[in-house]
Amino acid sequence: MTTIAIMGALDEEIALYLSKLEEKYEEKLAGFVFHSGNLNGAHVVVVKSGVGKVNSSVCAQALIDCFSVSHMIFTGVAGAINPDLNVKDIVVSTQSIQHDMDARALGYSRGRIPFSELKAFDADAKLCELALQSAKKQNIHAIKGVILSGDQFITDAKIGRELRAELDGDCVDMESAAVAHACALNKVSHVIIRAISDKADHSAQESFEKICHDAANNSFAIVYEMIPHIIIHDDAPAIIKSKIRTIPNWPKKGVMYRDITTLLKDKEGLGITIDFLVKRHKGKKIDVVAGIESRGFIIGAALANKLGVGFVPIRKKGKLPGKIISASYSLEYGTDTIEIHEDAIHKGARVLIFDDLIATGGTATAACELVTRLGGIIAECCFIIDLPDLGGSKKLKEAGHKVFAITSFEGD
């Protein structure tokens, strides 16, 4: 299960998350209060770490050990040492360094952990990109940058300039690199999202409380929008496949029936499936989703809703009340027919055809025929499952259609 940890050092930095958390419950461990629940479709654990590297690293380790978090987001405010940054701008970490780790007397560069190769802790590139995309959607100015952490509240502009010159940092705080250090040792993906509260020189014109509130709003807007997409990772097809049940010898002997009802009833599996497909097709100029009866209706309609487009049913013969066109296709013994309303698709519309499974390809080929006859352009034929041994996907590709399936099974 994907569990996302959201940490902030101050009450103000997690207040918005707690206000939006659904089905929440609390656990107290090692002096921290962990708030678990659902946030914008994702399972999360929200916690205030307190200020400083020790607090934040202990809190991060507790999240990893006790909640099995898969992703860590540390959010809050920081002081800018990059002169191009302004108050309320966002820095999304590419790396974090502990600037107060200073063993230069032993021959190590500043930030380097003595007797190790550890210095700069890399953020997860995919999480970083998700955060930047989310900021762009929210019209919030955000940059990729290096975050420097130390148990010091930096207010001297001269020190800030020196840190920037030596470590190429963009902002300073008191926790981020310690969280990144814990994540690196435990191989947990992380990203730091810091809103600028000041120029690390006490030059801000507004009160810290007001700036912290506004900056926290920006951070929250970014994280809230990005978290549903975090579960769309490289393991999604494997997770989806693991939730599909195989029933031998149904509907007849020798057939291995791939049953998606176990996927549909699974809260995580259903969410991952829909989010995976949304991410694949978002921005690809889909005008309408056409779902094939009957299991193609279930995910297809949800996908259409998430993409902000309409849904069109392609039904078995005799099920549609209006004027229809029909297409027949061969079965092992006989033929079958599917139909679509004449006014379902306008000429030139880009259509995503969706069904749960592609086997011999008869139904999907007939669906493509119907869409084409109405003047629609087939953007893609999309399925949850492909049975490549039966040749349906190959048949569609040979006809010039783009085909995608989340997962596949060998055999019938």
Q: What pLDDT is attached to residue 267?
A: 81
**268 catalytically annotated:** no
Q: Which 8-state DSSP code applies to residue 124? A: P
Q: What average pLDDT score do residues 19-27 get? A: 90
Q: What average pLDDT score do residues 139-167 get? A: 93
Which of 170, 190, 167 has the alpha carbon at shortest distance from 75? 190
Distance of alpha carbon 231 from alpha carbon 273, whole angstroms: 10
CA 72 to chain centre: 13
* Pairing between β-strand 22-29 and β-strand 32-39 as defined by DSSP bridges: antiparallel
Q: What pLDDT is attached to residue 234?
A: 53
**In this structure, what are the phi and psi dihedrals at residue 115, rounded to the nearest 5 degrees?**
60, 30
Q: What pLDDT is attached to residue 289?
A: 98
Q: What average pLDDT score do residues 113-125 get? A: 94
Question: Could you please report the per-residue DSSP string of 280-326?
Answer: HHTTS---EEEEETTHHHHHHHHHHHHHT-EEEEEEETT---S-EEE
CA 158 to chain centre: 40
Catalytic position from the list 13, 124, 275, 386 = 13
- Between 217 and 299, the more confident residue is 299
Vertex 46: Cα angle to 53 and 98 (nearest 5)? 20
Residues 72 and 49 sit within 8 Å (Cβ to Cβ): no
Q: What pLDDT is attached to residue 73?
A: 97
Which of 272, 273, 363, 276 has the alpha carbon at shortest distance from 381? 363
CA 85 to chain centre: 27
pLDDT above 70 covers a percentage of the chain that reads 96
In this structure, the dihedral spanned by the alpha carbons of residues 306, 312, 315 and 319, taken in order and rounded to 10 degrees, is 120
Q: What pLDDT is attached to residue 271?
A: 84
Q: What pLDDT is attached to residue 204?
A: 53
The confidence band for 1, taking pLDDT boundaries of 50, 70 and 90, is: low
pLDDT tens digits, one per residue of 167-226: 999 999 999 999 999 999 999 999 999 999 887 665 555 666 777 778 788 889 999 989
**13 catalytically annotated:** yes
| 331: enclosing H helix or E strand | strand 324-331
Give the lowest-confidence range in 6-10, 196-200, 269-273.
196-200
Q: What pLDDT is attached to residue 199?
A: 77
The confidence band for 232, taking pLDDT boundaries of 50, 70 and 90, is: low
> Which SS3 state, helix, strand or coil, does residue 385 take?
strand
Residues 316 and 336 sit within 8 Å (Cβ to Cβ): yes
pLDDT tens digits, one per residue of 38-56: 888 788 999 999 999 999 9
* Pairing between β-strand 334-341 and β-strand 324-331 as defined by DSSP bridges: antiparallel
| Sign of the CA dihedral running 131, 136, 142, 145 | positive
Q: Which 8-state DSSP code applies to residue 409? A: -
Residues 200 and 172 sit within 8 Å (Cβ to Cβ): yes
Catalytic position from the list 124, 170, 198, 275 = 198
Q: What average pLDDT score do residues 160-169 get? A: 94
Q: What average pLDDT score do residues 347-365 get? A: 96
Distance of alpha carbon 166 from alpha carbon 227, whole angstroms: 34
**pTM more than 0.75:** no
Q: Is the pLDDT of residue 332 over 70?
A: no
Q: What average pLDDT score do residues 99-128 get? A: 94
Beta-bridge partner residues of 198: 79
For the ranges 146-160, 184-198, 357-371, the maximum mean pLDDT occurs at: 357-371
Q: Is the pLDDT of residue 59 over 90?
A: yes
Q: What average pLDDT score do residues 267-286 get? A: 85
Q: Which domains does the chain have, with CATH numbers?
A: 3-230 (3.40.50.1580), 236-408 (3.40.50.2020)
Distance of alpha carbon 219 from alpha carbon 158, whole angstroms: 28
| 89: enclosing H helix or E strand | none
Average pLDDT taken over every residue of the chain: 91
Q: Is the pLDDT of residue 377 over 70?
A: yes
